[in-house]
Amino acid sequence: MRDFEALLHPLIDPLIEKPDAVMIRELPGSTERDVTVLIVAEDDDTARLIGKRGAVANALREAVAIIGKADDTNVRIHLKFESFEEEKESDGE
């Protein structure tokens, strides 16, 4: 099993403002060959990781596709991006 956190942080950290706030987790895929990697960051950083028209996200997907094919396992890696939801405090009492 790969350490996707160690593989992805060098790719995404230079692109975002708060790399310490990023959470990367492996989720079960639909088959043994499929792996879904969830990347959760703050709203602004998630927008940076997706980019205009998904350009950055597509580039990251191409990079991890190469990682999945680098050895003989031929794993398909799917990236999923989400934002942390901030709790907003209400001033009305």
For the chain of 93 residues, list the mean pLDDT of each consecutive stretch of 10: 82 94 89 90 95 95 86 83 67 48
Domain 4-83 fold is: GMP Synthetase; Chain A, domain 3 (3.30.300)
Kindly report the pTM of this predicted structure.
0.81
CB neighbour list of residue 34: distance below 8 Å, 6 or more residues apart: 75, 76, 78
- Given a contact cutoff of 8 angstroms between Cβ atoms, the answer to whether 79 and 39 are in contact is yes
- Please give the pLDDT value at position 60: 94
- Please give the pLDDT value at position 87: 45
- 5 HSE (CA, 13 A, CB side): 10
Spans of all domains in the chain:
4-83
